[in-house]
Amino acid sequence: MAPSLGWIGPGRSGALRAADAASPRVLVVSNRLPVTVSLHGGIVRLTPSAGGVATGLRRIHSRRWIGWSGMSAQVPPVVQREIDARLNDIATCGVALSDADITSYYTRMANSVLWPLLHDRCPETAAESADWETYRSVNARFADVVLRERSPDDLIWIHDYHLMLLPRLLRERRPDARIAFFLHSPFPRLSTLATIPWAAELVDGLLGADAVGFQTQSDLRRFARASRALAGRPSEWTAGSGLVADHDRGVRLHVTPMSVDVAAFASRADDPETRRRVLALRAGGGPLLVGIDRLDPTKGIPQRLEAFGRLLESHPELRGRARLLQLAVPSREAVPAYRRLGRHVETMVAGLNARFGTPEWKPVEYTYGSVDEQGLAALYRAADVMLVTPLRDGMNLVAKEFVASRKDESGVLVLSRRAGAANELTDAVLVDPEDLEGLMRGYVTAIAMGSAERRARMRRLRARVAAHDVHRWASQCLHAAGAADRAAHPMVS
């Protein structure tokens, strides 16, 4: 589910374009690097990382990218030197995390507490102060590495919920630094956020930035309210932007929905190898429904399967014909909720296949694993119906990758109203993922849609995504940071 590594490194084209004109030298900072390092019999291997931040941002040209390599720092010094050298060769720089850091900061604080909370779900693990302390200390370690790697004219661009304290930590040490932050996940309701004791500190952490970007207007509004209610900072907002007064500075808020590299997906969809694989995928005939997600509790995979079962139950004419191909990319396997979800999904798939399957027809093909670029392109291109039905999602780039891949102007997108992408992709069949009957009716609408309507909808979807690709997103985010003029607003004059 990820591209090859040839793109990474300084001096590549296809980069910031408009933002380059403002000449920020961009230092990207995210928890995970675009590559994940692993050791196989003493050999260091670099593979592309999965997930929205890595996949989307790897298309953006940065001077350097700082993040965690995905490996424990507890390796022999000679191996560590090789890892550092390999990362350096592709203009990335690793932040060392011990096994204890990974458990406490990444598995527990970031992914068992913050991730569900940001998605307005109740964390299943109680937040522990020890994990919060590790979260703080890891953010401080990132600050040390950023300050070591930074050149004075760099724009520091920080991503996502793992590093919410980092803007403030940097601001305290370098008041003149230019800092942008982008939150890829949703921002929660005040009542949800306030259930953890460190809510005000998280909000204050982000307010160290010059500009904070959000996926949707509702995320921005919730953050502006939380700044006022939890951190006591005056805030105001309007459609698409806002301002929070942070002492003598103004922090600019902006809504800039993330996107994908449209040209890259379009050209991959035309690749001869992709076409060959599409033919293989379509060999069964009958409507092909496709789902592609990280195996994550927010993605709504059990609901999607349940609705598919209801479809087969209530539409016998689809039995023996319709197929659901679900790819679940392994993710955060140390978090108990993810492991439980994996077992639950496998049980559901086995149940559906046992109930409806025949010797000639397997209704659900489930793969737990990753596919390469062509494999991904082939899935997008083969789908009659693409199911993107998260319970809640900051954006969901799978929806946009699907649209970008459909140069043939065919295929129907069934999209959750609770994904950020639903604000833009209004020509999808929009569904509520928790209303299982409604979800099932969404499948029926998509399968039955006539070719003229399919084409008309896909044409409009493609026009939207093409006009708002990942390069434009990056330009707008960086422009917002560059344009965050401290004295320009009456609130902070």
Interface residues for ligand F6P in 332-371 (CB under 6 A)? 332
Residue span binding ligand F6P (CB under 6 A) among the ranges 52-60, 84-92, 190-198, 360-368: 52-60
Question: Binding mask 169-198 vs ligand F6P (x if CB under 6 A, - otherwise)?
Answer: ---------------xx-------------
CB atoms within 10 A of CB 310: 16
Closest to ligand F6P by CB, 50 or 91: 50
CB atoms within 10 A of CB 77: 7
- Tokens of residue 308, six digits: 């598919």
* 3-state secondary structure (DSSP) of residue 263: helix
Closest to ligand F6P by CB, 371 or 449: 371
- As measured in angstroms, the least distance from the Cβ of 313 to ligand F6P is 34
Closest to ligand F6P by CB, 52 or 188: 52
Distance (Å, whole) CA 415 – CA 445: 12
Closest to ligand F6P by CB, 3 or 51: 51
Residues in the chain: 493
Strand order in the sheet with 412-416: 364-368, 323-329, 288-294, 385-388, 412-416, 429-431
Closest to ligand F6P by CB, 22 or 90: 90
Residue type (1 letter), 411: G
Return the bridge partners of 289, or none: 324, 385
- As measured in angstroms, the least distance from the Cβ of 106 to ligand F6P is 7
Closest to ligand F6P by CB, 53 or 281: 53
Residue nearest to ligand F6P (CB): 51
Residue span binding ligand F6P (CB under 6 A) among the ranges 51-59, 78-86, 118-126, 172-180: 51-59
- As measured in angstroms, the least distance from the Cβ of 31 to ligand F6P is 6
Helix (H) or strand (E) holding 78: helix 77-89
- Residue in the structure block whose two tokens are 């500009």: 211
Residue span binding ligand F6P (CB under 6 A) among the ranges 3-11, 46-54, 267-275, 421-429: 46-54
The residues, any chain, with a CB within 8 Å of residue 173's CB and separated by 6 or more, are 143, 147
Distance (Å, whole) CA 163 – CA 372: 29
- Extract the runs of DSSP E, i.e. beta strands, from 364-432: 364-368, 385-388, 412-416, 429-431
- As measured in angstroms, the least distance from the Cβ of 226 to ligand F6P is 20
167 binds ligand F6P (CB under 6 A): no
Residue span binding ligand F6P (CB under 6 A) among the ranges 48-56, 94-102, 347-355, 366-374: 48-56
Closest to ligand F6P by CB, 184 or 323: 184
- As measured in angstroms, the least distance from the Cβ of 419 to ligand F6P is 12
- Residue in the structure block whose two tokens are 């982008």: 182
Interface residues for ligand F6P in 5-44 (CB under 6 A)? 31-32
DSSP string, 19-73: HHHT-PEEEEEEEE-SEEEEEETTEEEEEEPPSHHHHHHTTS--SEEEEE-SS-S
Question: Binding mask 316-335 vs ligand F6P (x if CB under 6 A, - otherwise)?
Answer: ---------------xx---
Q: Output the CA torsion sign for 88, 91, 93, 99.
A: negative
Distance (Å, whole) CA 448 – CA 237: 42
Q: Which of 120, 131, 154, 160 binds ligand F6P (CB under 6 A)?
A: 160
- As measured in angstroms, the least distance from the Cβ of 83 to ligand F6P is 18
Buried b (16+ CB within 10 A) or exposed e, 421-440: bbebbebbbbbbbeeeeebb
8-state DSSP, 106: I
Q: Which of 24, 34, 48, 51 binds ligand F6P (CB under 6 A)?
A: 51
- As measured in angstroms, the least distance from the Cβ of 357 to ligand F6P is 33
53 binds ligand F6P (CB under 6 A): yes
Q: Which of 34, 48, 52, 257 binds ligand F6P (CB under 6 A)?
A: 52
- Tokens of residue 176, six digits: 């003149």
Residue span binding ligand F6P (CB under 6 A) among the ranges 49-57, 196-204, 431-439, 466-474: 49-57
Closest to ligand F6P by CB, 49 or 235: 49
Which residues make up the interface to ligand F6P (CB under 6 A)?
Answer: 31-32, 50-54, 160, 184-185, 331-332
